[in-house]
Chains A and B, each alone.
Chain A
């Protein structure tokens, strides 16, 4: 695990220190992806699935939920130049690129076949089986957080558990029509802020211990 991390760190560090711009970007990013997948794979298969591992999982899943939502938002909000473009071949290409960015293209095709925006939002936001989908990530993060604290699922003992549980429930009982109908961009924006608050809450609850009244007897 450390070996993989060191190699990765050196690879990126060397590239960052180099004055020559990276010409083979595809190759470089391919290496980055491979190295981060290797690291995740090694930790998964060699680390005891105890507290430290749950911390890794919690961090990774919160981050991934945020990133998937951003990738979707880029196309939905920023690249949507005009209503006339919707449904054109160019539009289809861009949506396919969005799916590829989330490593979701093949899995989406298997599940839904043709590219259609509602299906795509459903897949990237609300799928419970695709590991890059926002809901999937948040459910795993919630499990990890509860494994760390020992609080039973469905209940909460501190703010981040409450926040994360609420976000999960909201997504779990939402339909894609509701998401799009009430403004997907605004929804995603709000979601990202809530994910950030979960992160801050985790820090306050677990890492910023100060009070002496918390000493064991």
Chain B
């Protein structure tokens, strides 16, 4: 098959799991329609379309800013026009696994702030929960609206060379990136209309409507016209584009802390016609910064009194404060046991094997094998505070050994996975590059998994780091519809 494809005749699968080709070099069934379309393009056409995509993203303002560079430096999140494609059967498993995981994690969060049965039954050690930076004493005993803590989750999945998908980490605080999913798709549809016409690719466009439904679901029924707002740290935040995009697409107000005021334990937004009550806030500000009266007193981003209003049930916050305890990277290691404990089921999508440095065996193994492991700080995100053993220098190994020894609770280690690859346009050639996948899960009246997600790609040859802050890019993710599911339906 590879021989039939002229543009792809030099493509090397290269001993990795390739999302589009079998090890023998044959196109996987879900990829063959696209590959033939790509192959039928005249020489140079793929590059032309790649440039068209980049300029469309730039002009649409689909940008992010990188911390540490000059203020106002905006870049597009590099985009590659070759998508990642998932078959209907495989997606069904992913969807099932994510729903299972989120259900269990929500029960876990609720439990650790109430009866703590899971601690009493000895499944998760008390000190692990209590030492998590994101465990909030202020939330003990609190019942969030409709019993939901983690309304929006972006779970990172990776496929190893064994072909199996693993959960790499759970992002339950303020997962970002969904705006790229929606914008990437819009651009792909205009670049490859024939492929979208010929194949049943499931839509992602319903996301913002679903998200709005989640927000409104949290408002008591007695409120006739719920007033929702998206709280952003402001224009200097790296994800500001996403904040403004989501607010605009949902038709809700985009506000900063200074636009909100708490009076009589009720939240109001300043408008040109005076103050108006706010019922639900999708906050894109971490717990630490949302209310200087309760959390960091030096925060200028938040709203004094917001937690008081929240705890009196006057306003809903999405995600609930305190949710971050479940995306602590040490707690992560316990998630398979958490799923078993609450649901009495085995995890559908397994965890990556994880060494917990606060356990003596885990610590010893990590220190001895640091050259081959990925070491992660428990409360960091975005690829910061992380060591990729095989790609690091001896000095970096030594430095991390010291860091881990000094604070074992703060670290976990995992084997370096051989992430799967997808053909990616590098210069004039298609070359394999490593990818991960972040699907988005919404928890409202029911749990909805957006069919697709953000495929992040490490654009540097051989690199495994897909984070946008460190040379990563993104691809559109296509989930094919089987005959039973409609393209736009939610199954």
Indicate, yes or no, whether A interacts with B: yes
Q: Which residues of A are in contact with B by a Cβ distance under 8 Å?
A: 2-3, 6-7, 10, 51, 55, 148, 206-207, 209, 212, 214-216
Segment at the interface with A among B40-48, B56-64, B171-179: B56-64
Chain B residues, CB < 8 A from A209: 270, 274-275
Asked, given contacts A7-B59, A216-B277, whether A51 binds B272 with beta carbons under 8 Å apart, the answer is yes
Residue of B nearest to A6 (CB): B61
Asked, given contacts A212-B263, A215-B263, A215-B268, whether A10 binds B58 with beta carbons under 8 Å apart, the answer is yes
Residue of A nearest to B61 (CB): A6
Q: Which residues of B are in contact with A by a Cβ distance under 8 Å?
A: 58-61, 263-264, 268, 270, 272, 274-277
Chain A residues, CB < 8 A from B59: 3, 6-7, 10
| Cβ 8 A contact of B272, one of A206, A212, A214 | A206
- Complex: A59 Cα to B61 Cα, angstroms: 24
Question: Binding site of A, secondary structure by majority: helix, strand, loop or mixed?
Answer: helix
Asked, given contacts A10-B58, A212-B263, whether A207 binds B272 with beta carbons under 8 Å apart, the answer is yes
| Nearest CB on A from B118, distance (A) | 43
Chain B residues, CB < 8 A from A148: 272
Asked, given contacts A6-B60, A7-B59, A10-B58, whether A216 binds B275 with beta carbons under 8 Å apart, the answer is yes
| Nearest CB on A from B183, distance (A) | 12
- Contact status B61-A2, CB under 8 Å: yes
Question: Can you report 30 A-B residue pairs in the complex whose CB atoms are below 8 A from each other?
Answer: A2-B60, A2-B61, A3-B59, A3-B60, A6-B58, A6-B59, A6-B60, A7-B59, A10-B58, A10-B59, A51-B272, A55-B272, A148-B272, A206-B272, A207-B270, A207-B272, A209-B270, A209-B274, A209-B275, A212-B263, A214-B274, A214-B275, A215-B263, A215-B264, A215-B268, A215-B274, A216-B274, A216-B275, A216-B276, A216-B277
| Nearest CB on B from A215, distance (A) | 5
Chain A residues, CB < 8 A from B270: 207, 209
Residue of A nearest to B268 (CB): A215
| Nearest CB on A from B283, distance (A) | 22
| Nearest CB on B from A217, distance (A) | 10
Known contacts A7-B59, A148-B272, then 12 further A-B pairs from the complex at CB < 8 Å, ordered by chain A residue: A2-B60, A2-B61, A3-B60, A6-B58, A10-B58, A55-B272, A206-B272, A212-B263, A215-B264, A215-B268, A215-B275, A216-B274
Chain A residues, CB < 8 A from B61: 2, 6
- Complex: A7 Cα to B55 Cα, angstroms: 10
Residue of B nearest to A205 (CB): B272
Chain A residues, CB < 8 A from B272: 51, 55, 148, 206-207
Chain A residues, CB < 8 A from B276: 216
- Complex: A207 Cα to B268 Cα, angstroms: 14
| Nearest CB on B from A147, distance (A) | 12
- Complex: A186 Cα to B291 Cα, angstroms: 52
| Nearest CB on B from A26, distance (A) | 25
Chain B residues, CB < 8 A from A216: 274-277
- Complex: A212 Cα to B275 Cα, angstroms: 9
Chain B residues, CB < 8 A from A206: 272
- Complex: A215 Cα to B61 Cα, angstroms: 36
- Complex: A95 Cα to B274 Cα, angstroms: 47
Residue of B nearest to A4 (CB): B59
| Nearest CB on B from A158, distance (A) | 12
- Complex: A3 Cα to B60 Cα, angstroms: 5
- Complex: A206 Cα to B263 Cα, angstroms: 19
- Complex: A214 Cα to B58 Cα, angstroms: 42
| Nearest CB on B from A212, distance (A) | 6
Chain A residues, CB < 8 A from B268: 215
- Complex: A10 Cα to B276 Cα, angstroms: 36
Chain A residues, CB < 8 A from B60: 2-3, 6
| Nearest CB on A from B225, distance (A) | 14
- Complex: A212 Cα to B270 Cα, angstroms: 11
| Nearest CB on B from A70, distance (A) | 28
| Nearest CB on B from A57, distance (A) | 14
- Complex: A10 Cα to B58 Cα, angstroms: 9
Chain B residues, CB < 8 A from A214: 274-275
Residue of B nearest to A2 (CB): B61
| Nearest CB on B from A122, distance (A) | 36
| Nearest CB on A from B247, distance (A) | 13
- Complex: A165 Cα to B263 Cα, angstroms: 36
| Nearest CB on A from B305, distance (A) | 12
